[in-house]
Structure 1
Amino acid sequence: MKLTMEPFCEENLPEITRIWNSVVEQGDSFPGDQILSLEEAREMFAAQTETVCVRLDGEVVGVYILHPNHIGRCSHVANASYGVKPGCRGAGIGRAMVLDSLHRAGKYGFRGLQFNAVVRTNAAAIHLYEQLGFTRVGVIPGGYRLKDGSYEDILIFYHPTV
């Protein structure tokens, strides 16, 4: 099995948009709550420091975005969001994306990678981040509105790239 990471291109826009929108539709991890059209996705993916398309044996199975966590004096810390195609989760794709994003963040000059809103119920992500050496920085009680309208705590994680 061969896993490859490649920069966003028009050819993979429909597949990575479907993956992105599937995570949005779940309503339990991404902050966004609106499904993106192809044009909205194209604009959003093109605006990132980097959008990476992940292929497993040629099939698009994931996407992640990498960008500054904030502007100006805080722009040296990166942020990323990851999506794995339904049916492909649990195969190590997320781990590969996080490791790749840490590497790319360093190449772009980011000093660290911060996750602002890891939903407390996202046990797989929390386990992965802790296993990879991310530090849990804090908790925001009720910081995430789930799809059903209830609220869940969010965790903040950080990992240096240098």
Structure 2
Amino acid sequence: MQIEIVPFKSSYLKGVLDVWNEVVIAGKAFPQTEILNENTGYDFFMSQSFTGIALDTTTAEVVGVYILHPNNVGRCSHICNASYAVKSEFRGNGIGKMLVIHCIEKARKLSFRILQFNAVVASNKNALSLYESLGFIRLGIIPGGFLNKDNVYEDIIPHYFIL
């Protein structure tokens, strides 16, 4: 497997939707509840400041995706936010780390000053470990801040990283 992070383009849409919707359907990490289709997905991924695709260049398969966008507007628009997804059968191979590192570099190029995660779900131990290893700072715990698909509330742990 040879992974390269490339910009989103329409020819990757089906693969990106498969990766993204898998996380949405699981209901344990993303706040979104709506499945994206070809129309809504294309608009969504194109509306980001940047959408990065983890592509296995040996098979041309989309194995991961990240979105990067401002976390807020106006006087807080220098703070960005991102979400990451790796196709389940490829997790544990360092693809998530590649996505986060690429995202940090892209955020700097886009002149963002801080990368903030609003809602890292407490049970997402792999993400928490990754963010800690890369130097992200935990901001505390928001009790019951995330409603899992099974209607159980779970804590979230916001993070930030100075770019």
For normalisation by structure 2, the TM-score amounts to: 0.97
Deviations 1:85-144 (A, max 9, x none): 120000000000000000000000000110000000000000000011000012111000
Distance (Å, rounded) in 2 between the aligned partners of 1:96 and 1:122:
18
CA contact (8 A) 2:120 2:157 kept: yes
Q: Counterparts in 2 of 1:2-13, with a 5 A limit? A: 2-13=2-13
Distance (Å, rounded) in 2 between the aligned partners of 1:75 and 1:2:
35
SS of the residue 1:62 aligns to = strand
Pick aligned residue for 2:71 from 65, 69, 72: 69
Higher strand share: 1
Pick aligned residue for 2:121 from 119, 122, 145: 119
1:151 aligns with 2:161: no
Structure 2 gaps of 5+ residues are: none
When the two chains are superposed, the root-mean-square deviation of aligned CA atoms in Å is 0.8
Q: What is the identity, as a one-letter code, of the residue corresponding to 1:34?
A: E
Pick aligned residue for 1:128 from 115, 127, 130: 130
SS of the residue 1:87 aligns to = helix
SS of the residue 1:100 aligns to = helix
Give the corresponding residue for 2:54: 54
Distance (Å, rounded) in 2 between the aligned partners of 1:138 and 1:74:
20
SS of the residue 1:6 aligns to = strand
Pick aligned residue for 2:86 from 78, 84, 87: 84
* Sequence identity percentage: 47
Distance (Å, rounded) in 2 between the aligned partners of 1:53 and 1:127:
22
Q: Counterparts in 2 of 1:27-42, with a 5 A limit? A: 27-42=27-42
Structure 1 gaps of 5+ residues are: none
Give the corresponding residue for 1:102: 104
